[in-house]
A and B are shown apart, each in its own frame.
Chain A
Amino acid sequence: MINSKVILKAILPVVILGILALAFFAGQRPSSYYPVPLLKGSCPPGFKLNENNECIAKNLYSQYEKTNKAGVGGLKSALPEIRDGFSPQEIDLGRYLFFDPVLSADQTVSCASCHDPNKGLSDGLAVSRGIDNNKLKRAAPSLYNVGYLKKLFWDGRASTLEEQMLEPLFSEIEMGNTPENLLRTINDIENYKKLFAEAYPNRHKDEPILLKEITNAIAAFQSSLVSLNSKYDQYAHGYDGALNKNEIEGLNIFRSFVARCAECHTPPLFTNQQFAVIGTPEPDGLPLDPGAEIPFTDKSLRGAFKVPSLRNIAETAPYMHSGRFKTLRETVQFYTDGRGHAVPEGENLLIHWHIWEPNLTEYELDRLVDFLKTLTDESFKPKVPKVLPSGLRIPS
């Protein structure tokens, strides 16, 4: 009894003090403060931290000889150069920005709205939606392995991620923001001030956050989104058992010169990063999308689009630039239905020479789909932040 009284006496002041302190500090808390963890000091998977605090890409493809700069070839071929060397802090800050709808004019749309990690870093829509549910012209491409790409957008009109993201950020129908409003918003958020100061330690902490810091951080995060551990990759690195009989048959159809898929969707990235006019149909009622003809003012590129990577393709239906095909099966069918069969009347497109009449059988088309499904790997799927620096909720 005595003992417990003594203990109680000792504990009571501590508890009271604790409650008081809590009340005191709670009162001090600024209303805009949300507890955001500090930026990560370690690199995302697929990257190794070097002594300069840079994340350097490391993967099993680095063991192969680089015989060409384009990073194209066969199973055991080196990848093209990736954009790496960002700091872990830049990458993690980029992750917060990527998921934060505060970047849009009405604070409802984030980058992740159209590039959702749970939808293969795409959005599952035929064409994406911007603010006010605006219907956009084209489908959101998956961002997996985007750090390896030298041209961005379906029509290749941007050549860096920083340049690319300015369009969705400031397009009236996408995120609808303006540079002035974005900078004002971000600079008003204490959390971002701290995080930017942490990610960009070389500048004075009180200097305003710059647009190029925002785009740099987002580019850092996007470049960290790699997917190179699919069943296909296991096969490519030498494990025969990774693919079953149907999938290997599919691979052989894929790379054969009858179907010619691999001529443009060249391993290891499954894109050769060139333009191709293949003449796919638009969704009903829509006019032909002129594609790369517009940014390059080149008639020979009418209807041309950048060859997309096929990695995680099974996760990113529907397919083609305007989502005309709902399934992979429909998509592969297109390639055997005849050269130019879906080109609207009156259009004279310069259809790519690899689009021909391979006369693939139903069986072969099924095997191609089997193979395409082996390109799925989301083992390095980015983590959605639990709390956003803006205090906004992640839109569901």
Chain B
Amino acid sequence: MKKKSPFLKILGSIVLLGIGVFLGKSFFGQKNMETVPIPSSMKYRNVGHTKDTTQVASDREFTGKIIEVKKGSSIQDAVKEANPGDLIRVYPGTYSENVYIDKDDISLQGVVIKGEWPTLDGKKKINDAFLYSGNGILIENFKIINYKGNGIMGQAGNNFVIRNNWIIDTGVYGIFPQYGKNGLVEHNILSKIADAAIYIGMCDNVDVRHNEVFDNVAGIEIENSRHCLVENNYAHNNTGGLLAFVTPGLPIKTTFDVILRNNFVVNNNHENFGAPGSTVSGIPSGTGILIMAADDVIVENNIITGNNNTGITIVDLATGAPKANDPNSEGNPDRVVILDNIMFNNGNDPTGEIKAIMLTQMDTKGPDIFAYGGGTGSTIRDKNKYRTFGLDGYGASQITDTEDIATMMTPSPVPPRSVSKEELGELTYYGVCAGCHAFGTRLIGPPTEILQAIHYDNPQGIVDYITAPKNLREDYPEMPPQNYLSEEAKMAVAEYILALKH
């Protein structure tokens, strides 16, 4: 046999490999980018500036299935189908619905194709676009227009991520997480909102970054919330740009530890179109930043220009909201820190009380920084740089920057409270079953020891019975099915009942 040269052998195998790869690609490979790749969760921001990451998002893995929603179908139907860990991807089209998410760890992701957005249109008839109560909710890449109440509202729900949404005229609030801990609101664009475009209400540990808010009554509002970072936002032509305050009469009473940093707060001179009676309806047009009764607020490195009333207003509750009274709300802004900010061209057309007060100073312009009312311990880094009123009590600030604080979010997601199986069984037994069953005594159903005798060593028997009870005993009324309990809770309580001693 004639020996082939090794060179030919190698060449041959390369050619064969090439053919293989070509065939493989053409038969099995992606012909085109028909599905859109899932975004990378954007693990970095401000490269070289801070060490921040969007921890919550990058920690999340889409462990579940992907449910696709196309034009003509309903997002809510997909939510109904979804289980924790699932990702719902919504394709371009108009969806006129109210989507509510009462489950944990559901991600809703709009898919924007060639500039076409999946659009939730409330047609000024539907109340809210998204309502959620679950933990770990992600809502991104949606255009939301013409709702009556909110664009996105959360009631409770920790570890939320709301980003890349484009929200126009959704009624009272644009993005409104309430009672949430650890959240991120970023890269949203919001306009024409009749109260606050982004309203962080009674929350903790929230970052609000890189959003653009304009033509609203209030741009970004941190209210009765703690540990919030408002950074790199562009707030322009609102009635008031950035707000940090305490509203009295709410069940959670304090606002403190808030950083307003690296924001553009420019030309916030929109007329106030807030609803009569609302807190923001009292904000004078031309307010750049308003700090009312909030404590430990740091204002750093913002560009605050062209706000016709004042650049920064710092007031107590008695001055800012003289109507309200709540003995449990401490009304003074304490320990406000003003670091370096660029401020000019503010106060060109002051209104109301500020105009009157400035006239007593023989000044027709509003100041860059205006402080009025109570509060102690506030400081400023370079008072001489700005035109100020009421800052006589402000000492020199003890810090120069907040470089060390990259984020206010918690280092890792707020864990769900873990309840052991036994504990869940106990909670279910005493919280539900005990209405009819007790040890050693007949209530409505048989005593617990009889249940133990019937289902001895057979928790599954209890599970089956409580899911679909059959009336076995004439002397007792029929038990209603307890099928609303989760499978986990049913088994836990079955085991708990069998183990109960007295």
List chain A positions with a Cβ less than 8 A from chain B. Answer: 42, 45-48, 58-68, 70, 72-77, 228-229, 234-242, 248, 252-253, 255-259, 262, 266-267, 272-276, 296, 298, 300-301, 339, 350-353, 355-356, 379-380
Bound CA span A70–B202, Å: 11
Bound CA span A250–B134, Å: 19
Q: Are B155 and A262 in contact (CB under 8 A)?
A: yes
Give A150 Cβ to nearest chain B Cβ, in Å.
10
Judge whether B127 is part of the interface by a CB distance below 8 angstroms: yes
B484: chain A residues at CB < 8 Å are: 234, 237, 239, 241-242
Which of B67-75, B276-284, B390-398 touches A?
Answer: B276-284
**CB nearest neighbor in A for B415:** A65
A–B Cβ pairs within 8 angstroms, 12 of them = A59-B430, A63-B417, A63-B419, A74-B155, A234-B484, A253-B127, A256-B150, A257-B127, A272-B251, A273-B251, A276-B249, A355-B277
A236: chain B residues at CB < 8 Å are: 102
Give B161 Cβ to nearest chain A Cβ, in Å.
17
Q: Are A77 and B277 in contact (CB under 8 A)?
A: no
Bound CA span A353–B274, Å: 11
**CB nearest neighbor in B for A240:** B80
Among candidates A77, A256, A301, residue contacting B325 with C-beta atoms closer than 8 Å: A301
Which of B370-378, B434-442, B468-476 touches A?
Answer: B434-442
Bound CA span A73–B155, Å: 6
Judge whether B250 is part of the interface by a CB distance below 8 angstroms: yes
**CB nearest neighbor in A for B172:** A257
Q: Are B250 and A68 in contact (CB under 8 A)?
A: no
Interface bits B241-252 vs A (CB < 8 Å: 1, else 0): 000000001111
Give B13 Cβ to nearest chain A Cβ, in Å.
59
Which of B30-38, B48-56, B88-96, B421-429 touches A?
Answer: B421-429
- Contacts A72-B179, A235-B102 given; indicate if A46 touches B417 (C-beta within 8 A): no
Bound CA span A229–B484, Å: 11
Judge whether B412 is part of the interface by a CB distance below 8 angstroms: no
Q: Are B414 and A65 in contact (CB under 8 A)?
A: yes
A259: chain B residues at CB < 8 Å are: 127
- Contacts A42-B438, A258-B171 given; indicate if A76 touches B430 (C-beta within 8 A): no
**Which 3 A/B pairs are nearest by Cβ-Cβ distance?**
A74-B156, A59-B431, A73-B156
Among candidates B157, B181, B439, residue contacting A74 with C-beta atoms closer than 8 Å: B157
B443: chain A residues at CB < 8 Å are: 45
- Contacts A255-B131, A255-B155, A257-B173 given; indicate if A353 touches B278 (C-beta within 8 A): yes
Q: B interface, how many residues as a size bin?
A: 35 or more
A47: chain B residues at CB < 8 Å are: 430, 434
Judge whether B331 is part of the interface by a CB distance below 8 angstroms: no
Judge whether B287 is part of the interface by a CB distance below 8 angstroms: no
Q: Are B277 and A353 in contact (CB under 8 A)?
A: yes
B427: chain A residues at CB < 8 Å are: 58-60, 62-63
Q: Are B325 and A58 in contact (CB under 8 A)?
A: no
Q: Are A339 and B276 in contact (CB under 8 A)?
A: yes
**CB nearest neighbor in A for B134:** A76
Bound CA span A339–B276, Å: 9
A228: chain B residues at CB < 8 Å are: 431
Q: Are A256 and B435 in contact (CB under 8 A)?
A: no
Give B102 Cβ to nearest chain A Cβ, in Å.
6
Judge whether B204 is part of the interface by a CB distance below 8 angstroms: yes
Give B463 Cβ to nearest chain A Cβ, in Å.
15
Among candidates A60, A77, A353, residue contacting B179 with C-beta atoms closer than 8 Å: A77
**CB nearest neighbor in B for A383:** B443
List chain B positions with a Cβ less than 8 A from chain A. Answer: 80, 98, 100, 102-103, 127-128, 131, 133-135, 148-150, 153-158, 171-173, 176, 179, 181, 202, 204, 249-252, 275-279, 323-327, 414-417, 419, 423-424, 426-432, 434-436, 438-441, 443, 483-486, 489
Give B306 Cβ to nearest chain A Cβ, in Å.
29
Give A393 Cβ to nearest chain B Cβ, in Å.
25
Bound CA span A216–B243, Å: 47
Q: Are A70 and B252 in contact (CB under 8 A)?
A: yes
Among candidates A45, A258, A262, A275, residue contacting B435 with C-beta atoms closer than 8 Å: A45
- Contacts A59-B431, A62-B427, A65-B416 given; indicate if A42 touches B439 (C-beta within 8 A): yes
- Contacts A65-B158, A256-B149, A258-B148 given; indicate if A45 touches B133 (C-beta within 8 A): no
- Contacts A68-B252, A237-B486 given; indicate if A75 touches B431 (C-beta within 8 A): no
Give B367 Cβ to nearest chain A Cβ, in Å.
29
A229: chain B residues at CB < 8 Å are: 431-432, 435
B275: chain A residues at CB < 8 Å are: 356
Give B69 Cβ to nearest chain A Cβ, in Å.
19
Given contacts A45-B443, A63-B417, A258-B127, 19 further A-B contacts (CB under 8 A): A42-B441, A47-B430, A59-B427, A59-B430, A60-B432, A60-B489, A62-B427, A65-B417, A67-B179, A67-B414, A68-B252, A74-B179, A236-B102, A237-B484, A237-B486, A276-B249, A350-B323, A351-B277, A352-B277
A75: chain B residues at CB < 8 Å are: 102, 133, 155-156
B430: chain A residues at CB < 8 Å are: 45-48, 58-59
Q: Are B323 and A300 in contact (CB under 8 A)?
A: yes
- Contacts A252-B100, A274-B251, A300-B324 given; indicate if A48 touches B435 (C-beta within 8 A): no
Bound CA span A75–B251, Å: 17
Q: Are A60 and B431 in contact (CB under 8 A)?
A: yes
Among candidates B149, B251, B432, residue contacting A257 with C-beta atoms closer than 8 Å: B149
**CB nearest neighbor in B for A359:** B148
